[in-house]
Structure 1
Amino acid sequence: MISLAALTALCPPPAVVPPAPDWPRVEDTLGMGLPQDYKELITTYGPGRFCGFITLYQPHAPSEWADLTGPMPARLRGQIEEVRQAARHPWQLPHSPEDLFAVGVTGNGDYLFWVTRPVGTPDEWTVAVNEALRAPWFTYNGSLTEFLVSVLSGTTSVPMFPKDLLDLAPAFTPSPLESGSPAAVARTPASTRVIRDWASAKGYDLPERGRIPIEIIEAWKQENPN
């Protein structure tokens, strides 16, 4: 695809990447087809970060925080309206939560979503970005690969992204887990007990039982990115 060629020219992929996922199995797990450009992106780049900032979710990733086939996409979809309604002045949503499927996250806790319309035609899906499940929202009328090309080339400016994102040349940094580092180990999802203990130490008013508010989860993730 032209957009992938443009992205690899702008931001070269690693020389060595993990084997491509079993895409039919991935799509069967999700119960839906995936955009062809996403499958080519993951096959070409593997896990890692664009500009040290944008991380795409991977199928069957070792950490639930980055697992496309894990609980995070559905969990985030369910929390969008919850966070909005909890606000003193709820904001208008540009897309129905049912139409959003999380596909990535940034170093600042912004989420990247596919807008899964039209249903059943994933190659026509567009991209939405929001700030930690709150307003503001930004919608890009194109594929995920086209979004990356546009952002990393400086053509598109996403309001919630850092102003200095492109101060250095665009680059892709493979995750240590897949880079062959002997010290790399598979990361396991943090337990709720770990997050509760951290929140208590930080002075958050968190009940011993029940769902941990997304604000606290996001704060924990910011302080514990690895």
Structure 2
Amino acid sequence: MTDLTALRQLCPVPGAPMNIEWDAVETALDMSLPSDYRQLAEQYGPGIFCGYIHIYHPHGVTAFVNLTGPMPARIRAQLRKDFDHGTYPIPHNPDHLFAIGVTDNGEYIFWITDPVDQPERWRIAVNEARGPRWYTFDGPLTEFLTSVLSGQTSVPQFPRGLLEEPPAFTPAHPALRKTAPFSDQVPVDTAAIRAWALANGYNVPSRGRIPPEIREAWEQATP
């Protein structure tokens, strides 16, 4: 049984597979991508696992959860700054960390792109949202998701109640707002707002309603 098959049994695929222009995606990223991620992205599309884990996708509904959007580069730049200044210990070279997902609490999920030209050998790392801890998984992304969502792997940074409900995948759909001052803006993802707020020094709750002043600041900072 492949990791994707096992994942599909845990979290049924919500619809038909997507057609993704991988040549264009890899050209934009200037790197090849693991085959398991390609299959995962095609089968599931953009969305969230267990209401908590957002995997970046070439068709992410906002720039903040889009694989070719600004977040991977911004996160790497912040890691490099932390590494150079000794803010937090980072167990991997920041130049070999590529953000592939984010949680509702602000943890980032990374590919360890070493060696960079052999994506089938890339492993997974998870940082702590507001602390120094890191977790490394010795396997690819789909295996990581399957192991976590089946309960075989416990990531210290993830909440203990993550699997209180049966694992599920929820597709991401654009949610157009009709109330001022946000009526003319692009669809948003609350995880993207939380991740942006944490990266920019805001005290944002990990769950529940996002304070309007934080959401407004995010809107003003988003093209």
- TM-score class, shorter: 0.7 to 0.9
Using the alignment, how far apart are the partners of 1:218 and 1:56 within structure 2?
23
Residue number in structure 2 paired with 1:51: 50
**What is the aligned partner in structure 2 of residue 73 from structure 1?**
72
**Matched residue, 1:61:** 60
Q: Within 1, Cα distance between the matches of 2:111 and 2:198? A: 24
Kindly provide the amino acid, as one letter, of the partner of residue 219 in structure 1: V
**Residues 138 and 4 (structure 1 numbering): CA distance in 2 closer, same or farther, change over 3 Å?**
same
Per-residue deviation, 1:93: 1.3
Structure 1 gap segments, 5+ residues each: 190-194, 196-211
Match of 2:128 in 1: 131
Measure the CA separation in 2 of the matches of 1:20 and 1:187.
Answer: 22
User: Which residue in the other structure is 1:208 paired with?
Assistant: none
Tell me if the contact between 2:76 and 2:97 (Cα under 8 Å) persists in the aligned partners: yes
* Aligned partner (choices 104, 114, 138) of residue 117 of structure 1: 114
Distance in 1 of aligned mates of 2:187 and 2:202? 17
1:102 match: 99
Residues 56 and 40 (structure 1), Cα distance of their counterparts in 2 relative to 1, 3 Å cut: same
For residues 14-48 of structure 1, the C-alpha deviation after alignment (integer angstroms, 9 at most, x for no partner) is 0245x321001100111000000001001000011
Question: Does the 8 Å contact 1:60/1:70 carry over to 2?
Answer: no
| Contact 1:20 1:42 (8 Å CA) reproduced | no
Identity between Structure 1 and Structure 2 (%): 45
Aligned equivalent of 2:14: 14
Q: Deviations over 1:162-187 (max 9, x none)?
A: 00000111000111239xx9x9x952
Contact 2:61 2:174 in 1 (8 A): no
SS in 2 for 1:173: strand
Aligned equivalent of 1:151, options 127, 148, 152: 148
Q: Is the 8 A contact 2:56 2:66 kept in 1?
A: yes
Taking the aligned partners of 1:28 and 1:218, their CA distance within structure 2 comes to 36
Which residue identity does 2:10 align to in structure 1?
A: L
**How many positions carry a matched residue from both structures?**
199
Structure 1 residues 54-110: Cα deviation after superposition (integer angstroms, max 9, x where no partner): 0000115341210111111011001013346667xx432110100000000001010
Query: Relative to 1, partners in 2 of residues 1:111 and 1:133: Cα closer, same or farther, differing over 3 Å?
Result: farther
SS at match of 1:176: coil
Match of 2:182 in 1: none
TM-score, L = length of structure 2: 0.78
Structure 1 position 36 matched with structure 2 position 21: no
**How large is the Cα RMSD of the aligned pairs?**
3.1
Equivalence for 2:181? none
Structure 1 segments of 4+ aligned residues over 3 angstroms from their partners: 83-87, 217-222
